[in-house]
């Protein structure tokens, strides 16, 4: 299975280097029945057998579109959700089934920064008390020392320590995200899970927070799991990147390998769709426009989850779930879950799936609709208007 392959591949490295090992993690959410009688057995397969390793001091980027399960996975790793199946190994210890005070000990070492700097801070509490919460909960620092430590933290993340008694609404979005960073750092965790930490911020502020996270990492030796949908940001911050699609890892590789030689057709499509702030690159690029939408995670497609939209899909993709393995002559650290990986220089924009894909036909005849629209029966008004121009 896919999990054994990745684990075997990455175990060739130093195993004591590994801070976090996620093996075959599954998270399902039961769906409420909409029938009057009887219980539904449906479930949202949010995370569907994900395995990877995170080494000390590195940043693993996790990318994917809305609903691919990346945030759910983050919450599983921080044990905010209990997992349905699989194991999570943190610092040599299985934390996937821990409860109570054991779990609390782990949480000292695994902290999280959330996406929404407005929603993640209690508006009725002062910033000083928000940042000192970890000390109160874990009982590590008390009294006057606590206030001193919090002010140090505020200084550390670039806030004015004199603003200790202010409320969150007195801070801008970027400053609030700094508060979130300070709170996550308070207990000197080993791992920080950053769930879209800069998505809600304006670009100029985004860069400030990205630099702050990078500075903290190099000074304090932190390990990041960095989740984002912005592929340029992920490329900038990550050492390795995992691409998720519909609850599964589609491709996992060192950042330069992934961005330079994407093997999975989904990674290719994703990368080709990233808006580049450079007109010449944008003009040259062959964009792969995917057909249709992400299928429902309640009943994901059989075989490879991506086969309903993949330009290279064949019969085998429908029946057989591809394992996460190195393709071509790639390094063992570069794995992709695809039967028909994309070779370097292959043009996907003209590729055509060998199986029937539901949405394909409609996209094909857009051109004819465009030309025929002016003559829509009974639509003289608009057609006339067009001539008048």
Residues 46, 58: Cα–Cα separation, whole Å: 26
Scanning 19-27, 109-117, 268-276, 348-356 for contacts with other proteins by CB under 8 A, the matching segment is 268-276
Scanning 19-27, 79-87, 343-351, 366-374 for contacts with other proteins by CB under 8 A, the matching segment is 366-374
Scanning 19-27, 297-305, 339-347, 373-381 for contacts with other proteins by CB under 8 A, the matching segment is 373-381
Q: Which of residues 287-306 bind other proteins (CB under 8 A)?
A: 287, 289-290, 292-294
Among 17, 105, 170, 215, binds other proteins (CB under 8 A): 215
Give the binding-site size for other proteins (rule: CB under 8 A). 75
Among 108, 166, 236, 316, binds other proteins (CB under 8 A): 236
Scanning 43-51, 83-91, 126-134, 371-379 for contacts with other proteins by CB under 8 A, the matching segment is 371-379
Residues 205, 373: Cα–Cα separation, whole Å: 45
Among 32, 36, 203, 329, binds other proteins (CB under 8 A): 203
Scanning 20-28, 33-41, 119-127, 148-156 for contacts with other proteins by CB under 8 A, the matching segment is 148-156
Contact between residue 63 and residue 231 where contact means Cβ atoms under 8 Å apart: yes
Scanning 15-23, 33-41, 102-110, 264-272 for contacts with other proteins by CB under 8 A, the matching segment is 264-272
Q: Which of residues 331-360 bind other proteins (CB under 8 A)?
A: 358-359
Distance from the Cα of residue 160 to its chain's centroid = 32
Rounded to 5 degrees, what angle do the CA atoms 110, 26, 64 make?
75
Among 131, 191, 252, 255, binds other proteins (CB under 8 A): 255
The 3-class secondary structure across 15-74, one letter per residue, is HHHEEEEEEEEEEEEECCCCCCCCCCCCEEEEEEEEEEEEECCCEEEEECCCCCCHHHHH
Cα–Cα nearest to 118, from 187, 174, 70, 41: 174
Rounded to 5 degrees, what angle do the CA atoms 357, 360, 365 make?
160
Residue 272 sits in the site that holds other proteins (CB under 8 A): yes
Give the count of alpha carbons within 13 A of 338, CB side only.
29
Closest contact distance (angstroms) between CB of 238 and other proteins is 9
Among 47, 83, 157, 227, binds other proteins (CB under 8 A): 157
Binding pattern to other proteins, positions 50-89, x when CB under 8 A?
---------------xx-----------------------
Nearer to other proteins, 328 or 379 (CB): 379
Among 156, 159, 192, 336, binds other proteins (CB under 8 A): 156
Residue 249 sits in the site that holds other proteins (CB under 8 A): no
Phi, psi (5° rounding) for residue 106? -65, -40
Residues 253, 8: Cα–Cα separation, whole Å: 15
Residues in CB range of 329: below 8 A, 6 or more apart: none
Closest contact distance (angstroms) between CB of 280 and other proteins is 8
Residue 152 sits in the site that holds other proteins (CB under 8 A): yes
Closest contact distance (angstroms) between CB of 1 and other proteins is 28
> What secondary structure does DSSP assign to 72-131, as a single string?
HHHHHHTTSS--SEEEEEETTEE-TT--HHHHHHHHHHEEEE-S-TTTTS-TTS-HHHHH
């Amino acid at each position: 299975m896919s999990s054994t392959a990745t684990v075997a591949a990455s175990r060739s490295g130093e195993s004591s280097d590994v801070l976090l090992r996620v093996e075959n993690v599954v998270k399902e959410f039961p769906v409420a029945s909409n029938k009057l009688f009887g219980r539904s057995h449906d479930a949202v397969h949010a995370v569907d057998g994900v395995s990877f390793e995170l080494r000390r001091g590195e940043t693993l980027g996790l990318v994917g579109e809305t609903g691919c399960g990346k945030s759910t996975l983050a919450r599983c790793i921080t044990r905010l959700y209990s997992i349905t199946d699989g194991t999570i190994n943190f610092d040599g210890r299985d934390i996937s089934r821990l409860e109570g005070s054991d779990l609390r000990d782990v949480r000292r070492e695994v902290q999280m920064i959330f996406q929404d700097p407005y929603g993640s801070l209690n508006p009725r509490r002062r910033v000083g008390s928000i940042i000192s919460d970890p000390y109160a909960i874990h009982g590590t620092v008390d009294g006057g020392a606590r206030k001193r430590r919090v002010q140090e933290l505020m200084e550390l993340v670039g806030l004015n320590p004199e603003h200790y008694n202010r409320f969150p609404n007195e801070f801008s979005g970027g400053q609030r995200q700094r508060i979130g960073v300070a709170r996550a750092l308070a207990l000197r965790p080993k791992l920080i899970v950053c769930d879209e930490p800069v998505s809600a911020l304006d670009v100029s502020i985004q860069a400030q927070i990205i630099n702050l996270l990078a500075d903290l990492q190099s000074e304090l030796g932190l390990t990041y799991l960095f989740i984002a949908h912005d592929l340029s940001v992920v490329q900038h911050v990550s050492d390795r990147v995992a691409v998720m699609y519909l609850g599964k890892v589609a491709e996992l590789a060192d950042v330069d390998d992934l961005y330079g030689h994407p093997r999975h057709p989904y990674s290719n499509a994703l990368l080709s769709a990233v808006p580049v702030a450079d007109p010449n690159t944008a003009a040259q690029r062959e964009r792969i426009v995917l057909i249709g939408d992400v299928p429902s995670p309640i009943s994901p497609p059989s075989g490879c989850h991506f086969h309903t939209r993949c330009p290279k899909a064949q019969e085998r993709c429908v029946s057989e779930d591809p394992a996460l393995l190195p393709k071509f002559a790639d390094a063992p650290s570069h794995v992709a879950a695809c039967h028909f990986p994309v070779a370097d220089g292959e043009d996907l924009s003209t590729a055509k799936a060998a199986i029937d894909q539901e949405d394909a036909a409609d996209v094909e005849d857009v051109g004819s609709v465009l030309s025929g629209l002016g003559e829509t029966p009974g639509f003289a008004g608009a057609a006339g208007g067009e001539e008048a121009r």
